[in-house]
Structure 1
Amino acid sequence: MLSRLLHWLPRRRPDEDAFAQHFVRAARRAGVIVPLHYNRALFRIDLEEGGHVNLHNAHRRYLSSPRHLQEQVVARYVAWLVGDHPVHDPLQEVRSRLLPVLRNASLLDQTKLAAAEKAGWDEDASFQYRRVSNECVVLLGVDSEEHTLIKPEGPDASWGIDLEHALAVARGNLREQPDLPFEQPADGVFKAAWGDGYNSSRALLPDMLHRIPLRGLPVFMIPTRELLLVAGDRDLDAQATLFRLTEEGLEDGYAVSWELFQYVDGEMQPVELATPQLRSLQRRLRLQLQEGNYAVQQELLTHLHQVQGNHVFVAAYGINMKAERSFCYWAEGVEVSLPKTDCIVLAAPDIDTEPMMVEWEAAMPVIGHLLEQDHRHIHPPRYRAHECPNRELQAQLTPVSFD
């Protein structure tokens, strides 16, 4: 009875500062004695000996969980701080714990930005990963009871194996995990049910998905680390359901990809969607995930420029869900960093003129020479510009609106 009553109590909804304080108190109760420093600007806990714990996903998951499960969310993130997690174990000690992890490529960008705060942009971020799509990468992970240590730098040099060898071992270890049946949350839709943090990674095992009784060949989505959803390529209704279940699953955080995948010669490849309805569902999902990725990137990049004393306007990624379009604002009089969007709002050349919005691709033949892709970023992409298009250039552009 008590547990049922607790389930219906209102959720605790602390703001970021209150949640960070709550997290630190929980860590102390769990026995963490190392110095913990709350980095308010980046909403994370910095460890004195190096490293940090990002709180964005923990906070989001805490707020979306029923009250009686909220402390379990905190405990899960605290657990990693409690144990000893060496990062340079000998290969014979970690070989059986190597597992592949699928992540959004923005994780690499966030790692690079965090390193640049201490070492500057010139720090060599020699990541090792295998690209699956524009959104997704496969990284090497080392599993432990409470945490997956992701190794974006790849295998330790002392192991004497390259990334492909390590990932082959990792996939073999994943295949040897106990086999479980896929759940069926809706007609024609199947869901991985391991609940071990590697549901999405099982998309790297094509034979596992080919065993599911589908209408056609498997197509699948990996919207989060915990979610692998599968349907048949001939079942368009089930594919639409995939996108709807994906939107619900995103409330748990850990976003990976908005793409629908298929297997081509055993490798994951994005699918060209068959109907306008499916394309619309995917566009909406893409906007939501890109907005989240760009928001974290903007926060980290703005902080980095402040630390380095750079005067750069880091533009936000805005979305208009009704129009299913994204946009950014190109400010005047300062160096800007623009996200890649569907539309750009250009600063007015004088105070008596309204800002003008233009289609990004349509405008590039006229103003593209003012933009330079910022190759310091891995994903999502950004573009640098030192001046806004003047009156003459803007006169050559066709304005658009979301009306």
Structure 2
Amino acid sequence: MMEWIRWHFSKPTAADVIQRVVNRLNDAGATQVTFKEDSPEVTFTLNGTQMHSHLAHLLSDVLRAKGGRARDAEVRRYVDGVMLRPMSKDLPEHAEDYASVRSRLIPLLRTHADMGKNALNAANSLSLGQDAPPRETNDTPWRAVVGDYVAILGLDTPESTARVAQGMLDRWGVSFDDAFDDALQNLRGLPENDGWQQVAPGLWQGAWNDSYESSRLFLPDVIYRSGVAHPVVMVPLRHVLFATDANDLAGLTLMAAACRRMQQEHTRWLSCRPLQLVEREWQPFEPPEALRAQFQALIAVEDSEDYTTQKNLLEQQHAQDPAAPFVGSVQLLQFKDSDRVVSYSVWSDGVDTLLPHTDLVAFASQEKPDQTVIVAWADAVRIAGHHMQRVDGLHPPRVRVSVFPTEDEQAQLRAVQAL
């Protein structure tokens, strides 16, 4: 009943829209239908072809439509006209002429972890004997932004935003830099809609409602348009952009709490690493001491999830290789009566391991299994770093450890135990 009321008289949720999309797909004979509400997106198989689509554009159209019949029409138009159409080489990403796609380009904010995941997915497709993906899938050009953030190009289509890869740029005869400049102009030309909205005292949120909220980081003048004098921003989701003032302790607290809530409610994030805009240039933001633990906890959870995804992909890649190293996990430790959260990994005696970069390292000796030594990462590198082998090409980073510290090194580690 509540869903019917929202659909006809109020504001439908992403779950309401997805359910109606799924119902229509089922009626059309689609199988293996799965969906994610936080993205939102849907994957299904129709006539032997697996298809995938983001639903952010549809959600925006449904919210703009007035009344249940108009919203039903939007769903019907989208599913029947876009998602169920035959696959065609006439789609924008297959265009040969740059002029035909130039107005569809959009800049996208991503992270090194995103790029690493995409690379492992592509490698796994090859190792499983699937059809070799084209270069467009394997090679996505990017530009460093700041810290862990990178910029890539997207191609806006009615049903989704496709990543622009090097093969596409080569076919169009345009450089990444020139295409990115065009994409910035397209972003600047998008409708303002509600612009910046104050969602709590001292906390602002972008309300452009086009799924490109996080991309506004590429437009410093738009950030300053919020009216915040010393902007600090966070982008927990691709379509969520928060801003507050670097000197506003209450605003920073609210922003961190909002991001924490989104981590709990969603499964697919962009990043909770805060950035500060200083003279139109982004730089990592160092929270004040009173809030440092709260912000560090967000990053620890984010890194843990990134490493978990990476671990699963690496284990798929190594499934047929008995000599492959063990892929270490990241564990989180919550301190009692505190916001402090730290991460740790285990360096085990006699186990060839791909060790993740964590706050702490636990050294587990075979000879003294009841005397695990836990030290800060910096101390582990200082004392036993010569046993760490750098692993190229992995984001987030790992080192390979196949040799356990000597007795003398273990004594040095015990002398600097963190816990």
TM-score interval w.r.t. the shorter chain?
Answer: 0.7 to 0.9
- In the alignment, which residue of structure 1 is the partner of 2:214? 200
Compared CA separation, residues 360 and 97, structure 1 to 2 (3 A) = same
Query: Where does 1:148-167 land on structure 2 (aligned, <5 Å)?
Result: 148-153=161-166, 155-167=168-180
- In the alignment, which residue of structure 2 is the partner of 1:29? 26
250-259 or 129-138, larger mean C-alpha shift: 250-259
Within the alignment, does 1:368 sit opposite 2:385 as a pair?
yes
Compared CA separation, residues 109 and 316, structure 1 to 2 (3 A) = same
- Counterpart of 2:212, as a letter, is Y
Asked whether the equivalents of residues 224 and 253 of structure 1 are also in contact (C-alpha less than 8 Å), the reply is no
- In the alignment, which residue of structure 2 is the partner of 1:213? 227
Compared CA separation, residues 341 and 54, structure 1 to 2 (3 A) = farther
Within the alignment, does 1:389 sit opposite 2:405 as a pair?
yes
- Counterpart of 1:369, as a letter, is H
Query: Over residues 242-284 of structure 1, what are the superposed CA-to-partner deviations in whole Å (9 max), with x where a residue is unaligned?
Result: 11111122323431222221224433221222x2122112101
Query: Over residues 172-202 of structure 1, what are the superposed CA-to-partner deviations in whole Å (9 max), with x where a residue is unaligned?
Result: 1011011133111110111011222111111
Question: Aligned match of 1:239 in 238, 252, 255?
Answer: 252
- CA–CA separation in structure 2 for the residues paired with 1:151 and 1:307: 32
- CA–CA separation in structure 2 for the residues paired with 1:385 and 1:26: 50
- In the alignment, which residue of structure 2 is the partner of 1:60? none
> Which fold has the larger relative contact order, with Cα–Cα distance below 8 Å and residues 6 or more apart in sequence?
1
- In the alignment, which residue of structure 2 is the partner of 1:336? 353
- CA–CA separation in structure 2 for the residues paired with 1:31 and 1:187: 48
- Counterpart of 2:383, as a letter, is V
Compared CA separation, residues 91 and 30, structure 1 to 2 (3 A) = farther
Q: What displacement does 1:223 show? A: 1.5
Question: Aligned match of 2:143 in 112, 116, 130?
Answer: 130
- In the alignment, which residue of structure 2 is the partner of 1:58? none
Q: What displacement does 1:314 show? A: 0.4
- CA–CA separation in structure 1 for the residues paired with 2:33 and 2:26: 16
- Counterpart of 1:249, as a letter, is M
Q: SS of the counterpart of 1:156? A: helix
Aligned residue pairs, count: 360
Question: Gaps (5+ residues) in structure 2?
Answer: 8-18, 35-41, 55-77, 128-132
Q: What displacement does 1:234 show? A: 2.7
- In the alignment, which residue of structure 1 is the partner of 2:200? 186
Within the alignment, does 1:110 sit opposite 2:117 as a pair?
yes
- In the alignment, which residue of structure 2 is the partner of 1:279? 292
Q: What displacement does 1:352 show? A: 5.3
Q: SS of the counterpart of 1:366? A: helix
Q: SS of the counterpart of 1:400? A: coil
Q: What displacement does 1:308 show? A: 4.1
Compared CA separation, residues 6 and 211, structure 1 to 2 (3 A) = closer
Q: SS of the counterpart of 2:345? A: strand
Query: Where does 1:248-287 land on structure 2 (aligned, <5 Å)?
Result: 248-250=261-263, 251-273=265-287, 275-287=288-300
Asked whether the equivalents of residues 25 and 79 of structure 2 are also in contact (C-alpha less than 8 Å), the reply is no
Asked whether the equivalents of residues 147 and 284 of structure 2 are also in contact (C-alpha less than 8 Å), the reply is no
Q: TM-score, with normalisation over the residues of structure 2?
A: 0.75
- CA–CA separation in structure 1 for the residues paired with 2:347 and 2:269: 28
Asked whether the equivalents of residues 102 and 139 of structure 1 are also in contact (C-alpha less than 8 Å), the reply is yes
Q: SS of the counterpart of 2:152? A: strand
Within the alignment, does 1:320 sit opposite 2:333 as a pair?
yes
Q: SS of the counterpart of 2:293? A: helix
- CA–CA separation in structure 2 for the residues paired with 1:343 and 1:290: 13
Q: SS of the counterpart of 1:325? A: strand
- Counterpart of 2:412, as a letter, is Q
Q: SS of the counterpart of 1:337? A: strand
Within the alignment, does 1:295 sit opposite 2:313 as a pair?
no
- In the alignment, which residue of structure 2 is the partner of 1:348? 365
- Counterpart of 1:220, as a letter, is V
- CA–CA separation in structure 2 for the residues paired with 1:269 and 1:77: 42
Question: Aligned match of 1:144 in 157, 160, 171?
Answer: 157
Query: Over residues 60-108 of structure 1, what are the superposed CA-to-partner deviations in whole Å (9 max), with x where a residue is unaligned?
Result: xxxxxxxxxxxxxxxx999986454563323122111100111122111
- CA–CA separation in structure 2 for the residues paired with 1:6 and 1:262: 38
Compared CA separation, residues 45 and 212, structure 1 to 2 (3 A) = closer
Q: TM-score, with normalisation over the residues of structure 1?
A: 0.78
